[in-house]
Amino acid sequence: MTLRLFNTLSGQLDDLVPSDGKALRMYACGPTVYDFGHIGNFRTFLAVDILRRFLLLTGTKVRHVMNITDVDDKIIRNATAAGISIGAYTAPFELAFLEDLEALKVQRPEQLARATEHIPKMVELIQKLAAAGAAYQTEDGSWYFRLAAFPEYGKLSKKDLSGMEDGARVDVDEYEKDSARDFALWKAAKPGETSWDTAIGRGRPGWHIECSAMAMEYLGESFDLHAGGEDLMFPHHENEIAQSESVTHKTFARHWMHVRFLLVDGRKMSKSEGNFYTLRDLLLKGYKASAIRMALISVPYRHQLNFTFDGLIEATNAIERLRTFSQRLKTGNYAPGENPALQEAAKKAQADYLAALSNDLNTAEARAPIFDLVRAANTAIDQGQLLAGDRDAILSVLASFDKVFDVIQDSDAEPTRKAIEWAVQAGREADVAPELVGRESLTDEAIDALVAERTLAKRQRNFSRADQIRNELAEKGIILEDSKDGVRWKRK
Ligand code: AMP
Ligand code: ZN
């Protein structure tokens, strides 16, 4: 099954297939590790995760590279203020980023690339640009890209840049939205700032050059797909194209994927607006990592998504429905055989699910047939019409759904436990929701042991002890369900 994905460069849906016939080579712009990421950032990383997982599910290998921007204006400013090296400043934020990815079940790219570890590659690229007449050095020793040397500038964002001023320059990493100017490739060292001594002088890289240099280092001069949030289309991605194609004269990335923003009350969620939540903020309020994942992926990536707490509750309930159903299927006793109507329903759900994802990763449409199937199967179970062969067919649809959505398999306890641990260390105990306190201290094994003790107490007709255990567990958010197949427990 071939994925039809919107391509910003061509302005239409294009087939996304590995051009070398082997693996899909893709580059996604990663975080600037100057602070904790907010869930807007993670919406973009999750959208790329959905892409990646769909490719893997449908049998396409991927080679996925993501950069970590560990040097930029903000990092230098903050590290200087804190009186520490940029490495010491960024390390905890990089670690937090990777932990947050794990909590949200975003698969790790095959290659993570830190900007500070690829300075020689960037210098080499700037030298090639200079040789091609596309880069020049200013009096202070900085290097700039000459926009006039790349007539195709603007082909990705389709901006009308006819009013572009020749030779006007910009050197900050935070950009004005609509001005196209010669941009910094290399910034000459300033006293007290981190810098590298190189063949093009002492200084540090501009932001854009890192992605060109690292993408080509790991994926070659021309590769399949480049992704990032919609704000990166201009100027960052436009600049990446200019820097790369001026040297190689080959198409840098054939396919460009841009993820629309996560909004809060109609405005972009961002650090500068102050309207943001980090993953940790939400975990500490008692929302589960799976619900945050589900809420962020359920609106297709090309639509803006408005963040609301109602949305998180809807996602929580949707996951609960799937998990309860999956448990019901796995633990029930079903007579042998197959019910043709359910077999047909399972086949149709699977086909509709894959078709929706292959149509520009339409996650909203992909969810719907799965929930329809759950409804039909629940009714069939109630009426005694679901047979063992149907159970297997439906479980395999759920497994395929979870290969991309990854919310049914419950591993929510760990991210919450880690967030609480982090809050305690960071002196933010006050932010931990009261209902979480004490709950995560019980391991699965400890709960199993208490449940077994309760079963024994009941068998010995020691009902007061049995009730005491049930109540103790309830206080810690553990709910027991007695069924004919024994006792099941779950975390609230
Ligand atoms: P940064 O760490 O600021 O470089 O951003 C990391 C990624 O998050 C980039 O791909 C941004 O485009 C993306 N991003 C930033 N804010 C949002 C938002 N509100 N919604 C979706 N993506 C965002
Ligand atoms: Zn980039």
Predicted local distance difference test score (pLDDT) of residue 439: 65
Of the candidates 46, 104, 67, which has an alpha carbon nearest to the alpha carbon of residue 361? Answer: 46
For 10-21, the pLDDT digits (tens) are 999 999 999 999
What number of helices (H) and strands (E) belong to the chain?
15, 18
For 76-86, the pLDDT digits (tens) are 999 999 999 99
The rounded distance, in Å, linking the Cα atoms of 278 and 457 is 44
Cα(162) to centroid(ligand 1), Å: 28
- State mean pLDDT over 238-263: 98
DSSP letter, residue 32: B
User: Taking a C-beta distance cutoff of 8 angstroms, is the pair 54, 26 a contact?
Assistant: no
Residue 369: CB within 6 Å of ligand 1?
A: no
Cα(452) to centroid(ligand 2), Å: 53
Predicted local distance difference test score (pLDDT) of residue 444: 81
Protein residue with least CA distance to atom 23, ligand 1? 41
User: Taking a C-beta distance cutoff of 8 angstroms, is the pair 372, 320 a contact?
Assistant: no
pLDDT value at 412 more than 50:
yes
pLDDT value at 226 more than 80:
yes
- State mean pLDDT over 240-253: 98
Residue 231: CB within 6 Å of ligand 1?
A: yes
Mutate which of 36, 39, 41 for ligand 1 pocket (most atoms within 8 A of beta carbon): 41
* Nearest atom (ligand 1) to Cα of 228: 10
Predicted local distance difference test score (pLDDT) of residue 385: 97
Look over the chain and give the mean of its residue pLDDT values, rounded to a whole number: 93
pLDDT value at 186 more than 80:
yes
Task: Give residue 488's region: left, alpha or beta (phi > 0; psi -120 to 50).
Answer: beta
Residue 94: CB within 6 Å of ligand 1?
A: no
Q: Model confidence at 164, in pLDDT bands (50, 70, 90)?
A: low
The rounded distance, in Å, linking the Cα atoms of 186 and 144 is 7
pLDDT value at 145 more than 90:
yes
* Nearest atom (ligand 1) to Cα of 269: 19
User: Taking a C-beta distance cutoff of 8 angstroms, is the pair 476, 416 a contact?
Assistant: no
Cα(291) to centroid(ligand 1), Å: 20
pLDDT value at 266 more than 80:
yes
Maximum C-alpha span of the chain: 89
Predicted local distance difference test score (pLDDT) of residue 337: 97
Predicted local distance difference test score (pLDDT) of residue 437: 78
User: Taking a C-beta distance cutoff of 8 angstroms, is the pair 25, 237 a contact?
Assistant: no
Domain-by-domain residue ranges, the chain?
Answer: 3-259, 264-404, 442-491
User: Taking a C-beta distance cutoff of 8 angstroms, is the pair 376, 383 a contact?
Assistant: no
Predicted local distance difference test score (pLDDT) of residue 171: 67
CATH topology of domain 3-259: Rossmann fold (3.40.50)
Mutate which of 27, 44, 292 for ligand 1 pocket (most atoms within 8 A of beta carbon): 44
Predicted local distance difference test score (pLDDT) of residue 481: 86
Q: Between 159 and 170, name the one with better pLDDT.
A: 159
Mutate which of 36, 231, 276 for ligand 1 pocket (most atoms within 8 A of beta carbon): 231
Q: Where are the beta strands (DSSP E) in 76-181?
A: 111-114, 135-137, 143-145, 169-170
Q: Model confidence at 165, in pLDDT bands (50, 70, 90)?
A: low
Predicted local distance difference test score (pLDDT) of residue 449: 86
For 426-456, the pLDDT digits (tens) are 999 999 998 887 665 677 888 888 898 898 8
The rounded distance, in Å, linking the Cα atoms of 289 and 417 is 11
For 465-481, the pLDDT digits (tens) are 899 999 988 888 888 88
- State mean pLDDT over 101-117: 98
User: Taking a C-beta distance cutoff of 8 angstroms, is the pair 156, 10 a contact?
Assistant: no
For residue 177, count CB atoms less than 10 angstroms from its CB and return exposed for 0-12, middle for 13-18, buried for 19 or more.
exposed
- Three-state SS at 306: strand
For 331-360, the pLDDT digits (tens) are 999 999 999 999 999 999 999 999 999 999
Predicted local distance difference test score (pLDDT) of residue 177: 46
Protein residue with least CA distance to atom 14, ligand 1? 41
Of the candidates 163, 199, 207, which has an alpha carbon nearest to the alpha carbon of residue 31? Answer: 207
Predicted local distance difference test score (pLDDT) of residue 161: 73
Predicted local distance difference test score (pLDDT) of residue 2: 96
Instruction: Centre a 10 Å sphere on the Cβ of residue 111 and count the other Cβ atoms it contains.
Output: 15
Backbone angles phi, psi at 474, to 5 degrees: -60, -40
For 118-142, the pLDDT digits (tens) are 999 999 999 999 999 999 999 999 9
CATH topology of domain 264-404: Isoleucyl-tRNA Synthetase; Domain 1 (1.10.730)
